[in-house]
Structure 1
């Protein structure tokens, strides 16, 4: 088990390989603000680079052995392979090296209380909801987010050592290194199939994570998710459940309605039998689940119900999470991070209920492995869209794969009667969409690669 005491500065000089990632950049800023000398490298400039610059963190573009200048510790992201020059150099010098996940597990132990949000979908939204509530309370949390939140002007807030709020990603089994006082499980779905064999492999990882917790921990779990029920027996401490229209749950969201824009209102029957009314300012039924997890975890952290209610209602969302970028001639342009069939389907369903014109989905597939392994699920997730436009696959960490292409998905969609087009480049998509949209249409651009640039091109936002 990796031990890290944030106050003793045993590892005074820390180098981070892949520092431009959203999680890595947050950790870098946290360390810098706690008196550490932080350097890093990445392959390209990213959206998070401005946060690194603002905090005076030195980083270089390009990864080579010369960047390793006798650090006390090297942290590297999961995208880094064993043949990375910097990683090889650090190991040859005998410098301790740890993955981001292992380091975060060690960091978590520095805080008296910690809230870790896990699940295949909804982590960033739920974590940011929790963060907003705690920031509006008397707490001063330390926060590590997977997206930018206006209230903290970025994805990290350096608070005190009383409470840490962070996402807990299951990729490469990282979740097994985390020991939160409050752990949230939103959902468990088939994802990260470049690492996991199948859904059962993922479920076993969640079981291992839960078995590692101590008897004083609390696990907050969505009881409406069938796969979540498969890990309940592994919970070591207190189990607290929630659900929608689910009387078996400890907290039950009921009397669910939506305003004309699709924003939910609901009554939450509390564990003690009382009822509290909540209203959200973000779209979609799925966000009721995220809100319930945020409500319960902050209640358990000692926040009063009025602060929670007001914070939930004023929460406007994160960048790239059903984010309204603009309005072109009466057509809304929306950006979302969704890259899994379940996420895309849920978002399209939420938008379809409140779209007066056509709902047009522009999708950039993310990784060949995910596209291939979930091919049928992707073909069936666009039912609520009137038209689907698919760009080339964003490879991310994977080599080019000729056995799968975006055109294969388009052909399958057309075969089932869906209006779908394969437009490989961003320029082609922009030209087509702007020539096609009409008043009252809605366009959602979705994907976790660089599709945010495409959405901004369509919306006319300069970068």
Structure 2
């Protein structure tokens, strides 16, 4: 559901009691946590119980399972996930009662009132990792920033926290235009690679949204000049009078690196900042993580911190939930889980998985996310998955959309070339189907933005019992 952002976003302290519809999601749970830590009365609901709801309850936030208009008694502000539909009973009650009804972006923007120095991390891919890396880097340099991240970060112990310093590091999502409402002092751009065309309508409109985002920035932009889409934004930023700091692995840039190598589950490189070399060892495998780390290092330097101290913090980053997350081993099979759902993300994570597999057979289990995205990118998804040794594709995760009989998992499976590929049906049956495909020594990676994340643990349990 698209809810308009008000012309004037009140500071969070003036919102009264806040109710979140979809509080179990990464975005809303982050906002709820920070509001509660700042002293607001916060509550929320979600369609089903989860570990996230349990952790929120442990922090004193009341969480309901299921949606009911009665939950809004005494509520002053309602903040809703974009995945919520128009006929949701809590949406209908908020409209009937005339309660302030905001989208997620307005809720996050309400936390950015001065004296906060907002640092917004944008881009099609890598936002979560870069936001988390920058937060870890700043903590390593002795800062205590507030942060709101789109996933649980084990090394931080949470996805959000209200820090003691004025710096506020936020993951700035472009999927629904949220990032256009934050007006950050500093912005990071990882890349610009067409996505969410169901919202934006065209590649041109999607890229124009990033240019509009740059127009909201007050001071500085840090971007990966290796990426053509991000590189085009450099001139937009300079024309707006902003300081521009470039990062590159393949292209001459302000912050660069040499000696990049992936060894097992680690990535090693030597960063070069202002002509000074700084060794980096990252506890995550993959070239794309090196780019994210350089962005974090560059942004931390813009904020006035020493590269050596920032590098120490980056060394503490141990990955994010659903970002090539190791789930366990059973029956000689190692299982990892990834949020990758766009062809570019699939290419990057399967390349990293190939490094981790180190010669073992690689099995990719993919759940397409959204009918609209599969319609546009299904063939490219299949091509990307061809990097595995065997591919299984489960049914599309519909989220807020309705099914289309002409757009199915088979479309993706048919586009896989050179390796066996199977459309294996509902996600609930995937673990049983995989038991007939995997064998000892395999590395299995589950990929997708939906409930595919549940398949790995079920597969491990089945393998253990076998």
Deviates more, 1:60-69 or 1:288-297: 60-69
Kept in 2: contact 1:256–1:265 (CA 8 A): yes
Q: TM-score of the superposition, structure 1-length normalised?
A: 0.92
In the other structure, the counterpart of 1:73 is 77
1:125 to 122, 129, 135: 129
In the other structure, the counterpart of 1:437 is 438
Name structure 2 gaps, 5 residues minimum. 1-6
Kept in 2: contact 1:112–1:162 (CA 8 A): yes
In the other structure, the counterpart of 2:197 is 193
Deviations 1:202-235 (A, max 9, x none): 1111111111223xx1111100001112323332
Kept in 1: contact 2:129–2:292 (CA 8 A): yes
In the other structure, the counterpart of 1:238 is 243
Name structure 1 gaps, 5 residues minimum. none
Query: After the TM superposition, which segments of 4 or more aligned residues of structure 1 sit over 6 Å from their partners?
Result: none
Q: Secondary structure at 2:155's aligned position in 1?
A: helix
Deviates more, 1:286-295 or 1:9-18: 9-18
In the other structure, the counterpart of 1:227 is 229
Q: How does 1:157-236 map to 2 (within 5 A)?
A: 157-214=161-218, 217-235=219-237, 236=240
Q: How does 1:346-365 map to 2 (within 5 A)?
A: 346-353=348-355, 354-365=357-368
In the other structure, the counterpart of 2:45 is 41
Deviations 1:167-211 (A, max 9, x none): 000012111101112111001112112212122111111111111
Number of residue-to-residue matches in the alignment: 453
Q: Secondary structure at 1:219's aligned position in 2?
A: strand
Kept in 1: contact 2:184–2:216 (CA 8 A): no
In the other structure, the counterpart of 2:373 is 370
1:341 to 340, 343, 346: 343
TM superposition shift of 1:273: 1.9
Kept in 2: contact 1:355–1:441 (CA 8 A): no
TM superposition shift of 1:352: 2.1
Kept in 2: contact 1:111–1:161 (CA 8 A): no
In the other structure, the counterpart of 1:411 is 414
In the other structure, the counterpart of 2:158 is 154
Is structure 2 residue 298 aligned with structure 1 residue 292? Answer: no
* Change beyond 3 A, Cα 1:460–1:111: farther
Q: What CA distance in whole angstroms lies between the structure 2 residues aligned with 1:230 and 1:84?
A: 41
Is structure 2 residue 11 aligned with structure 1 residue 5? Answer: yes
Kept in 1: contact 2:155–2:316 (CA 8 A): no
Kept in 1: contact 2:379–2:411 (CA 8 A): no
2:110 to 106, 113, 132: 106
Q: Secondary structure at 1:361's aligned position in 2?
A: strand
Deviations 1:308-337 (A, max 9, x none): 222222321012111111123433211111
TM superposition shift of 1:338: 0.7
TM superposition shift of 1:96: 2.0
Q: Secondary structure at 1:443's aligned position in 2?
A: strand
Q: What CA distance in whole angstroms lies between the structure 2 residues aligned with 1:62 and 1:87?
A: 13
Q: What CA distance in whole angstroms lies between the structure 1 residues aligned with 2:210 and 2:460?
A: 40
Q: TM-score of the superposition, structure 2-length normalised?
A: 0.92
Kept in 2: contact 1:203–1:231 (CA 8 A): no
Deviations 1:284-327 (A, max 9, x none): 11111110111111222233323222222232101211111112
Deviations 1:326-358 (A, max 9, x none): 123433211111111110111112222453121
Kept in 2: contact 1:348–1:385 (CA 8 A): yes
Q: Secondary structure at 1:89's aligned position in 2?
A: helix
* Change beyond 3 A, Cα 1:94–1:438: closer
